[in-house]
Structure 1
Amino acid sequence: MELFLNWWIIKNKRPFLNNIYQTVYLQDIITRNKITNDFAVRLILKKIAESVTKALSFNRLTNIVKSAGISIGKQTVINYVGHMLDSYLIFSLQNYASKKTSPKYYFMDTGLLGLMLLDCRTAQLENLVAVELIRRYGFENVYFFENNIEVDFYVPSENLAIQVSMQVLEDVDTLERETKAFVKLNQFIPDTKCLLVTNSEETKLNCDGIKIDVVPAWKWLLD
């Protein structure tokens, strides 16, 4: 029976994940908190999924929902997102450079993110790194960094900065953008260890005296 169940999950991965999303997460959020506007909850989750990798404010979320013709207040949106955080459907990271700026949101399960987006390999890769960082260092020790530069993740206890990109070695513009962020960050926080997590590429770079390890995600996860 166990072998059959494992086979069924592998062969029917998307329906299985959708069932978890619909019956466990959504119903838990909606029923437990007595929410009557379930469409608003679904729309907010959809927009959070579309905004993974970017900071997202409650004002923007509220305006997006209102533009869909739903009458909703900012405080209600804040409450709904709070319910999603409480149910461990999503989690948030704060900006290390300024705690007053909007947070970034990630999904606890990268598979659920895949349910909501068509082409989401880049977002899923960054989400995967976020989940692993939380597992290693805890929610209170992982941030992103944004202050005229943007670095995907920063772990202050390790003085570790991480950028995530599907590939950089064959894309000059992407490589320049990612490495310049590390160089600028070192002007704010000297001697930062710099790690660039990719889909499959591996090398070592030196940019303006800053050493950058480029590591494929699978190898970093096994570290």
Structure 2
Amino acid sequence: MGIVREVVEDYLEVEVDGVERELEVPLPRVPRAIAITGPRRAGKSFYMLQRFKRLLSQIPALYLPLDDDRLYPPTLDTLGELLEVFHEIHDERRGVLFLDEVQEVQKWELFVKRAVSLGHTVFVSGSSSKLLSREIATQLRGRGVSFELYPFSFREFLRAKSFEPGESLPKKARIKALLEEYLRWGGFPEVVLEKSELLKRKTLEGYVDLILYRDVVERFGVKNTRALRLLLRLIGSSFGREFSINRTARYMRGIGIEANRNTLSAYLEHLEDAYLVVRVKKLAPPRESEKALPKVYLIDTGLVRVFKENLELGRLMESVVLTELLRMGIRPYYLKTQRFEVDFVIREGDSYRLIQVTRSPEGDTLEREIKALGEASKLIPVHERTLITWDDEGEIGRVKLVPLWRWLLGVKP
């Protein structure tokens, strides 16, 4: 118990200073388990520590990072000792426990279930969307909820850069320059705060390797790492486009890599579970939607640097819009026919919101994007049509043109 208490007391004293994250997780009135999931290095540990320090003055709480080397390897006994330390320090029967990187402990969910039954609210964090959500749901039986934390939003990015947006011409010029940096390097906190472009790139490469091996190869026992890495590279070099598992399997066989459709399909699910990629399904009846090719994106535009040298600003814009929608808790579809394509379709009640993203809405491009939104409106009931641009704003017919920076900040002109 001495080591557990030592680690706990260290974090009772630690100072927390940094960008305030926007994720709102209300403290429940009755004991619950709350899972915070998201990509590695997106700031989950900092968020947990931030919440812990904020709550500490209001309610008994303890924070335990289970990846601390002093605890290695952490076990259920380690977690049991935490309860003893809690009672020693706070002399209370119940409070809030923060367990960072809880997946380091096998059968952690058994302890969390016990702690909740004793009256504690337990925050847990990890980098597997399905694992934490599934265990929280099955073991806690309705007494657990999950939230996702992604890399910095553009609002958080600007705060990290100590920039306050405004409507003056110099402010607008600066915000667009910062937006381009955000598009090209993404929102992982360490990358945002790093000044050296070489170190930014090396950091992102390290993230890919870390996530790939810790959260995919080790967790799922992947043997064919050559096929897994090639799959991710193919996604990274063509992100935002329809992705065919069958075509990819044929391509791999053609270059001597044995990987069938079922294997690659499982690998794609593992990559999504580890928050490296995101699939956007086609809007269609359920059976057709499941069979249709998904569009596949990387979770953060900075990761594109690992796979591509030539970055297309328009596709980066589309990817940033998707991640912002995910932050809002929205899982969009895309819509495509032989005549047109709409980037994102969002169901809201009995109708839909359409979002089209383009860098330069001029001439034929503008006409094509407006027409696509109009054609989609003939197929499904639509209550809002938005064309997100780099710089243009206004209204054409029933379509709103909104610059990307305004849309990301939620700023009205």
> Among residues 331, 334, 337, which one is paired with 1:144 in the alignment?
334
| Match in the other structure for 2:406 | 219
Q: Judging changes above 3 Å, is the alpha-carbon distance between structure 1 residues 133 and 44 closer, same or farther for their aligned structure 2 residues?
A: same
Q: Judging changes above 3 Å, is the alpha-carbon distance between structure 1 residues 164 and 7 closer, same or farther for their aligned structure 2 residues?
A: closer
Please identify runs of 4+ aligned residues in structure 1 that moved more than 6 A: 5-8
> Among residues 180, 194, 209, which one is paired with 1:9 in the alignment?
194
Larger Rg: 2
Residue 152 (structure 1) shift: 0.4
Residue 203 (structure 1) shift: 2.7
Q: Which moved more, 1:181-190 or 1:23-32?
A: 23-32
CA distance in 2, matches of 1:78, 1:144: 20
What is the TM-score when the length of structure 2 is the normalising length?
0.48
| Match in the other structure for 1:29 | 216
Q: Judging changes above 3 Å, is the alpha-carbon distance between structure 1 residues 199 and 114 closer, same or farther for their aligned structure 2 residues?
A: farther
Check the 8 A contact 1:53/1:152 in 2, yes or no. no
- Structure 2 unpaired stretches of 5+: 1-16, 19-189
| Match in the other structure for 1:164 | 357
> Among residues 264, 267, 280, which one is paired with 1:80 in the alignment?
267
Q: Which moved more, 1:191-200 or 1:147-156?
A: 191-200
Check the 8 A contact 1:165/1:199 in 2, yes or no. yes
Check the 8 A contact 2:344/2:356 in 1, yes or no. yes
Check the 8 A contact 1:85/1:91 in 2, yes or no. yes
Corresponding letter in the other structure for 1:123: R
Matched, 1:67 2:254: yes
| Structure 2 counterparts to residues 1-223 of structure 1, below 5 A | 9-11=194-196, 12-97=199-284, 98-99=288-289, 100-120=291-311, 121-139=313-331, 142-148=332-338, 149-157=340-348, 159-169=352-362, 172-206=363-397, 211-223=398-410
Q: Judging changes above 3 Å, is the alpha-carbon distance between structure 1 residues 23 and 196 closer, same or farther for their aligned structure 2 residues?
A: same
Check the 8 A contact 1:153/1:162 in 2, yes or no. yes
Residue 205 (structure 1) shift: 1.4
Residue 107 (structure 1) shift: 1.5
Q: Deviations over 1:28-53 (max 9, x none)?
A: 31222222322211111111123322
Size of the aligned set, in residue pairs, is: 213
Q: Deviations over 1:54-95 (max 9, x none)?
A: 221211221222233212111111111111011111121111
Corresponding letter in the other structure for 2:320: L
Check the 8 A contact 2:330/2:346 in 1, yes or no. no
CA distance in 1, matches of 2:283, 2:192: 43
Check the 8 A contact 2:242/2:295 in 1, yes or no. yes
Q: Provide the secondary structure at the position in 1 that maps to 2:328.
A: helix
Corresponding letter in the other structure for 1:168: P
Q: Deviations over 1:113-142 (max 9, x none)?
A: 232112222222111111111211433xx1
- Structure 1 unpaired stretches of 5+: none
Check the 8 A contact 1:144/1:153 in 2, yes or no. yes
CA distance in 2, matches of 1:86, 1:73: 20
What is the TM-score when the length of structure 1 is the normalising length?
0.86
The root-mean-square deviation of aligned C-alpha atoms, in Å, is 2.2
Q: Deviations over 1:169-215 (max 9, x none)?
A: 3xx12112211101101111244411111222223212xxxx11111
Check the 8 A contact 2:191/2:200 in 1, yes or no. no
Check the 8 A contact 1:9/1:16 in 2, yes or no. no
